[in-house]
Amino acid sequence: MTAPQQEPTDERLVCATLAGDDGAFAVLVGRHKRRVLGLAARFARDHHALDDLAQETFLHAWRYLRRFRNDAPFEHWLIRIAVRVCYDYLRRVRRDAVLTPLENLDMVAKESPAPEQAREIVAVALARLRPDERLVVTLLELEERSVKDVADLTGWSESNVKVRAFRARQALRKILERQS
């Protein structure tokens, strides 16, 4: 009988990829695609945009794989890339988007909203935030990450994360109050 074969670690797959094994990178993509898509889904709702964000994340990871220092898990390094890609996406979309008027949601908000309607109200309010505000609220509140995690993912100091979170919550509160 042969012993069951163990799955290679992410670090071994990174080394194999750097040695020229493209199949190893495909395994990394398969292993982490769901997590990347889950994060991207917090920032984009269109499935085409989600696919684009995931593809861009893995493209950046491929391009900069030599910079992976192995001092933290590969997944953490990859999620940092995904956060930057999503932040860039928010800035691009914010610049180009025509936002849904909040007045259209007044009727929904005045009736006791069903969960899907409440999610839509929050999604529209989040879309009205500046990209950095939306990023910090999403990571802290929706992803339920700690201030330290958000600081690590964004490259901001913990104090900066706290200040941005405070201001973002105030802005979100004002947006939601205006619509009621």
Residue 81 and residue 99: Cα distance in Å, rounded?
A: 27
Nearest 5 degrees, angle CA 144-CA 37-CA 166?
30
Residue ranges per structural domain of the chain: 8-97, 99-180
Model pTM greater than 0.85?
no
8-97 belongs to CATH 1.10.1740.10? yes
Q: State pLDDT tens for residues 61-81.
A: 999 999 998 888 999 999 999
CATH architecture type of domain 99-180: Orthogonal Bundle (1.10)
Q: State pLDDT tens for residues 112-167.
A: 567 777 778 888 888 889 999 999 999 998 889 999 999 999 999 999 999 999 99
Q: State pLDDT tens for residues 8-41.
A: 999 999 999 999 998 999 999 999 999 999 999 9
What b-and-e string marks burial along 36-45, b requiring 16 or more CB atoms within 10 Å of the CB? bbebbbbbbe
Report pLDDT for 114: 73
Residue 24 and residue 128: Cα distance in Å, rounded?
A: 41
Which residue has 């990178």 as its token pair?
25
Q: State pLDDT tens for residues 105-126.
A: 444 445 556 777 777 888 888 8
Residue 89 and residue 117: Cα distance in Å, rounded?
A: 25
